[in-house]
Structure 1
Amino acid sequence: MTNTTWRQAAFATGPLCMTAYGLIRLTDPGHGPGPAWSLGHLALLSGVLLFAPVMLGLRRTAVAAARGRGSRAFAGAGATLGLLGVAAVTAQASIDLLVGYASVDRETMNELFDRIHDLPGVTPAVYTIGPLLFYVGLLLLVGQLAALRAIAFWRPLAIVAGVAVSAISLDLMPVGGLLFLLALAPLGGNTATRPVLSVKAGSTA
């Protein structure tokens, strides 16, 4: 698989990994530790890492479709926020994996999580503000592309719906992942890998 093909595939495999995490989580009512906890968080970690090329691909498309320096700067800001969010969720998933590995029961996990949350700056960076940047950056990029008429207007709405259902309950994470898949998967073939945009401004992909 070439680098370009891999980047394009990330638009589908990233949301699918997040959907898999949500489905695995539903099979684990105790929420760790154990195989389901580890497997689910490996799926989450894989999914969020795959969103790094998604953010960069959306930025490339937005820059290529941009109509001025301000628009290009906006795309860069959206990608930066999104990548900071990717880093935060990556850290969170990694911590969750390590805690699950080091614990013999849920009580031990809770004790370890309490110690981690007590560390200065960890809670906002990794568990509250940081992860929000993932969604903010993604929404800014997809919203900008819709405003530039490079993609259909309903795609940002699907992203908003995916974020909303996931925020309501993690049990709805599979629905959120599928909404992300609906919005993003077809865009993988449209991300510009060169300075020339492959989708014209009037496209409604």
Structure 2
Amino acid sequence: MKLPGLLLLSAPLCLAGYGVIRLAGRADGHYGPGPDWQAAHLFGLLGMVLFIPVVRNLGRELPPGPWRTGTLALTLIGLAATIVQFTADISFAALATTKADMSRMSGQFSDIPGVRPAFYTVGPQLFFLGLVTLTVLLALRGLLPKWSPPLVLAGILVSAVNLDFLPLTGAAILLALLPLAEPAVVERVGLRPRG
């Protein structure tokens, strides 16, 4: 299997871009609300949306059965939760005039029963758990190298420790999934030498 176009590269690059813009925005101590917050979160949202077809393509390479169904469901539920979180954060930042306003609106939303676990603490983590599981299953079938699952896991864990490491998370996911990209695309962006 080779994933089509720049899709495989774009999703993790958007995640890395979110991290880079977030770091730049935080450098002056006034991150959110404002253009830097919105740009970072729009990159993050786009990355999550782009991961939907990536995950579906990865799942197509697994044999039908409960492992594939369960892993895809888990991963897509996590993506949906993350998309809701990014959309909410972008919306609150657009409506707020100060960071306190933004925090107040976010707090009101997350105080709704079930919202915090569904869209902040548990739900989004299902995407990362599902992505690790997918890479393990693909590596077991010989479609990814054995180092891909540990690399994805390491990338996810570093950003769990500190969100400042999000660019590394995006880079780790990109490198781990890169063996599945179309050779012409990888060559075009200079990540694999010709010949």
**Do both share a fold (TM > 0.5)?**
yes
> Can you list the C-alpha shifts for 1:159-204, whole angstroms capped at 9, x where unaligned?
00110111011100001110011011331339xxxxxxxxxxxxxx
**2:107 aligns to what?**
114
Alpha-carbon offset, residue 140 of structure 1: 1.1
Aligned residue pairs total: 179
Instruction: Give deviations 1:133-182, integer Å, cap 9, x for gaps.
Output: 10111111110111122221000111001101110111000011100110
The answer to whether residue 179 in structure 2 is matched with residue 186 in structure 1 is: yes
Task: Letter of the 1:25 partner, please give it.
Answer: R
Equivalents in 2 of 1:7, 1:108: separation in Å? 42
Quote the sequence identity (%): 36
Counterpart position of 2:18: 21
Matched residue, 1:31: 31
Q: TM-score, normalised by structure 2?
A: 0.87
Deviation digits for residues 59-81 of structure 1 (CA, Å, limit 9, x no counterpart): 11122xxxxx6xx3201211111
Q: How far apart in 2 are the matches of 1:79 and 1:142?
A: 12
Question: Structure 1 residue 148 and structure 2 residue 149: aligned?
Answer: no
Over 4 Å off, 4+ runs: 5-8
What whole-Å deviation, never above 9, does each CA across 1:100-133 have from its counterpart, x for those lacking one? 0001111111111110111111001000110011
Q: Distance in 2 between matches of 1:116 and 1:6?
A: 37
CA contact (8 A) 1:23 1:174 kept: yes
Q: Does 1:95 align with 2:88?
A: yes
- Contact 1:7 1:53 (C-alpha < 8 Å) held by counterparts: no
Change beyond 3 A, Cα 1:35–1:130:
same
Q: Matches of 2:95 and 2:181 in 1, distance apart?
A: 38
Q: Are 1:165 and 2:158 counterparts? A: yes
RMSD value over aligned CA atoms? 1.6
Determine whether 1:50 maps to 2:50.
yes
On the 8 A contact 2:143/2:180 being kept in 1, the answer is: no
The Cα offsets for residues 9-34 of structure 1, whole Å up to 9 and x where unpaired, read as 22110000000000000112233000
Alignment correspondent of 2:8: 11
Distance in 1 between residues matched to 2:56 and 2:62, nearest whole Å: 10
Question: Partner letter of residue 163 of structure 1?
Answer: I
Equivalent-residue separation in structure 1 for 2:86 and 2:163 (angstroms) = 14
Matched letter for residue 54 of structure 2: V
In the superposition, the TM-score normalised over structure 1's length comes to 0.83
Counterpart AA for 1:52: I
Give unpaired runs (5+ residues) of structure 2.
184-195
Partner amino acid, structure 2, of 1:35: P
Q: Which runs of 5+ in 1 are unaligned?
A: 64-68, 191-205
